[in-house]
């Protein structure tokens, strides 16, 4: 299918062409016609599938020209909000529409101004939007299109009640577009409540890692984790790397240690940092000014960062889906990426949950050349592991069972 067949306005097609897209992705092909018809949509799709354009292009088409705030997009993080805004700004560059970004951690002034200017599209995180609603800085009673993006993430982050409160303030008669990578019961209930006869579209749900990512578990005693991390970073030199942490404190601590070890071209990104610092860290990483980004899961979902060569999970992620999201930062498009997950025995349950989700066993490896002063646990249960072991194959790293120092 060609973009021309989707009946989008010429101004939008021009922007799509300037963006260099040849043809719609499957989610765009399926959602755009239904959205143009005014239908509600439930899309099970993650970032990376072209989801943003799937809702942005038809929304821009329907809004057509500047009037008043008619479209509200709720998204879990500030970074995603900025990314969506960039997309709308680009696809809508030949249209006369106003955009407004609403998120916490920054001053209220410019956001109030955007609201006053009657931004046609407001892109918001739930907390700040509720703040502004309670201050009566805006009303949602003329919203025509409501887009709930990354709903499962909003659930994880404890925003679901906030989302409900916001939805209640929108008119009953509206078009609602709902996107979530996963559909647990809570989310299904929310969808049933918020949507009217939705069309369900499930595409590109990537519950397995891309083939272009070479990923493995590296068992290591907790005492040696930092040493192993430092060793990996040395080995991969200054190639672009994201190191994921479960906790903000962990991320800060490791950044401090790495700096003390002489590694300066790093930045930390988590929700305790102010928005300006987070945006700068992300931009510096995207621009290649820093090679290593240390982040909590705020960066694992959604963010479209190209050319990440390595992902290191300092801990096994708490939520299985985050494993796929985290390692999905690398190996995007057709480029090859490598993902390392440092693993200590107390995290076995989490590994099993991840393997159940992705339907495959993650190869177990030892890091070649690393001095395991404390022998790691190599006896990690798993059907495939046993088979691999029998065949003596443990992936590209060193074999388990080899004599270690
Ligand atoms: P998203 O899922 O919206 O985060 O999009 C993932 C990436 O795919 C972004 O870099 C988009 O610019 C890109 N993209 C979106 N639609 C298309 C398309 N039709 N053809 C090629 N790339 C696309």
Render 24-88 in DSSP notation, one character per residue: --HHHHHHHHHHHTT--EEEE--TTSSHHHHHHHHHHHHH-S--S--EEEE-SSHHHHHHHHHHH
Whether 388 shows a pLDDT value over 80: the answer reads no
pLDDT at 384: 47
Q: Is residue 144 part of a domain?
A: yes
DSSP 303-361: -----B-EEEESS--SSHHHHHHHHTTBS-TT--EEEEEEE-GGGHHHHHHHHHHHTSP
For residues 61 and 321, which has the higher predicted lDDT (pLDDT)? Answer: 61
- pTM of the prediction? 0.66
Which tokens sit at 157? Answer: 């982050």
CA 172, CA 191: separation in Å to the nearest integer?
Answer: 14
Tell me, rounded to whole angstroms, the distance of Cα 4 from its chain centroid: 29
**Which range marks the domain in which residue 84 is found?**
3-203
Q: Do both 51 and 123 map to the same domain?
A: yes
Mean pLDDT of the chain: 86
Please, which pLDDT band fits residue 344 given cuts at 50, 70 and 90?
confident
User: What's the mean pLDDT in 51-74?
Assistant: 95
Tens-digit pLDDT profile for residues 71-99: 999 999 998 999 999 999 999 999 999 99
Q: Do both 175 and 248 map to the same domain?
A: no
Q: Do both 63 and 119 map to the same domain?
A: yes
pLDDT at 301: 65
SS3 300: coil
Domain finish residue from 203, 221, 252: 203
Is the shortest distance between the CB of 270 and ligand 1 below 6 Å? no
Longest Cα–Cα distance in the chain:
72
Q: Do both 146 and 234 map to the same domain?
A: no
Q: Do both 171 and 220 map to the same domain?
A: no
For residues 281 and 394, which has the higher predicted lDDT (pLDDT)? Answer: 281
CA 115, CA 258: separation in Å to the nearest integer?
Answer: 43
Q: Do both 285 and 234 map to the same domain?
A: yes
- Split into its structural domains, the chain has a count of 2
Please, which pLDDT band fits residue 263 given cuts at 50, 70 and 90?
confident
Return the percentage of the chain with pLDDT > 90, whole number: 55
User: What's the mean pLDDT in 125-143?
Assistant: 95
CA 21, CA 240: separation in Å to the nearest integer?
Answer: 26
Tell me the Cα Rg of the chain.
23
Q: Is residue 388 part of a domain?
A: no
pLDDT at 163: 96
User: What's the mean pLDDT in 127-135?
Assistant: 96
Degrees (nearest 5) of the Cα angle 200, 206, 208? 145
Least confident among 223-232, 261-270, 365-374: 261-270
State the CATH number of the domain containing residue 325: 3.40.50.300
User: What's the mean pLDDT in 46-71?
Assistant: 90
CA 30, CA 38: separation in Å to the nearest integer?
Answer: 14
Domain finish residue from 181, 203, 225: 203
Closest CA to 367 of 241, 216, 209: 216
**What's the DSSP call for residue 198?**
P
Whether 222 shows a pLDDT value over 50: the answer reads yes
Q: Probe ligand 1: pick from 50, 55, 57, 329, max atoms within 8 Å of CB?
A: 50
pLDDT at 225: 92
Closest protein CA for atom 13 of ligand 1: 50
Return the percentage of the chain with pLDDT > 70, whole number: 88
Closest CA to 151 of 287, 68, 42, 30: 42
Residue spans of alpha helices (H) in 92-216: 109-116, 126-134, 151-156, 160-168, 185-194
Instruction: Specify the ligand 1 atom closest to the Cα of 49.
Output: 2
Q: Do both 343 and 229 map to the same domain?
A: yes
Whether 395 shows a pLDDT value over 70: the answer reads no
pLDDT at 97: 95
User: What's the mean pLDDT in 352-381?
Assistant: 85
pLDDT at 334: 54
Domain finish residue from 203, 223, 249: 203
Q: Do both 78 and 222 map to the same domain?
A: no
Q: Do both 192 and 257 map to the same domain?
A: no
Question: Locate tokens 């970004």: which residue?
Answer: 101
For residues 333 and 132, which has the higher predicted lDDT (pLDDT)? Answer: 132
- Centre of ligand 1 to C-alpha 209, Å, is 18
Q: Do both 30 and 130 map to the same domain?
A: yes
Q: Do both 37 and 181 map to the same domain?
A: yes
Closest protein CA for atom 4 of ligand 1: 47
Cβ count within 10 A of residue 372: 18
Question: Locate tokens 């006869």: which residue?
Answer: 197
Whether 308 shows a pLDDT value over 90: the answer reads no
Q: Probe ligand 1: pick from 15, 25, 26, 46, max atoms within 8 Å of CB?
A: 25
Whether 391 shows a pLDDT value over 80: the answer reads no
Residue spans of alpha helices (H) in 236-274: 248-260
Which tokens sit at 201? Answer: 């579209």
Tens-digit pLDDT profile for residues 226-256: 999 999 999 998 899 999 998 899 999 999 9
Please, which pLDDT band fits residue 168 given cuts at 50, 70 and 90?
very high
- Centre of ligand 1 to C-alpha 49, Å, is 6
Q: Is residue 29 part of a domain?
A: yes
User: What's the mean pLDDT in 297-306?
Assistant: 69
Is the shortest distance between the CB of 53 and ligand 1 below 6 Å? yes
For residues 44 and 141, which has the higher predicted lDDT (pLDDT)? Answer: 141
- Centre of ligand 1 to C-alpha 282, Å, is 19
Closest CA to 217 of 320, 340, 96, 127: 340
For residues 335 and 229, which has the higher predicted lDDT (pLDDT)? Answer: 229
Whether 402 shows a pLDDT value over 90: the answer reads no
Q: Do both 103 and 238 map to the same domain?
A: no
- The pairs formed by 108-116 with CB atoms below 8 angstroms and a separation of 24 or more are 108/132, 108/137, 112/137, 115/69
For residues 49 and 397, which has the higher predicted lDDT (pLDDT)? Answer: 49
């Amino acid at each position: 299918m060609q973009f021309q067949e989707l009946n989008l306005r010429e101004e939008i097609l021009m922007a799509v062409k300037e963006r260099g897209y040849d043809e719609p992705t499957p989610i765009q092909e399926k959602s755009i016609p239904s959205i143009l018809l005014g239908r509600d949509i439930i899309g099970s799709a993650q970032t990376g599938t072209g989801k943003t354009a799937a809702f942005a292009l038809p929304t821009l088409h329907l809004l057509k020209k500047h009037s008043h705030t008619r479209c509200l997009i709720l998204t879990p993080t500030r970074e995603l909000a900025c990314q969506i805004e960039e997309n709308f700004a680009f696809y809508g560059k030949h249209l006369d529409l106003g955009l407004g970004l609403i998120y916490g951690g920054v001053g209220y002034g410019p956001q109030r101004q955007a609201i006053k200017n009657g931004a046609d599209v407001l892109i918001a995180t739930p907390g700040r939007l509720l703040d502004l609603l309670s201050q009566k800085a805006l009303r949602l009673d003329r919203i025509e299109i409501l887009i709930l993006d990354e709903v499962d993430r909003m659930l994880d982050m404890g925003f679901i009640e906030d989302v409900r409160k916001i939805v209640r303030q929108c008119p009953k008669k509206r078009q609602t577009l709902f996107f979530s990578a996963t559909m647990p019961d809570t989310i299904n209930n929310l969808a049933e409540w918020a949507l009217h006869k939705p069309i369900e579209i499930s595409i590109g749900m990537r519950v397995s890692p891309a083939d272009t990512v070479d990923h493995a578990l590296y068992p290591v005693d907790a005492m040696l984790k930092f040493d192993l991390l430092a060793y990996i970073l040395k080995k991969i030199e200054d190639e672009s790397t994201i190191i994921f942490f479960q906790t903000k404190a962990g991320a800060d601590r490791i950044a401090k240690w790495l700096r003390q070890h002489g590694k300066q071209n790093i930045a930390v990104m988590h929700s305790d940092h102010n928005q300006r610092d987070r945006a700068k860290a992300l931009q510096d990483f995207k621009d290649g000014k820093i090679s290593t980004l240390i982040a909590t899961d705020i960066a694992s979902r959604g963010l479209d960062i190209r050319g990440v060569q390595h992902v290191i999970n300092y801990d096994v992620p708490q939520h299985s889906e985050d494993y796929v999201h985290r390692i999905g930062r690398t190996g995007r498009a057709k480029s090859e990426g490598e993902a390392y997950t440092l693993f200590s025995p107390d995290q076995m349950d989490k590994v099993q949950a991840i393997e159940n989700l992705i339907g495959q066993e993650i190869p177990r490896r030892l890091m070649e050349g690393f001095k395991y002063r404390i022998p790691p646990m190599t006896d990690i249960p798993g059907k495939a592991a046993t088979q691999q072991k029998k065949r003596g194959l443990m992936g590209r790293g060193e074999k388990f069972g080899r004599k270690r120092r």
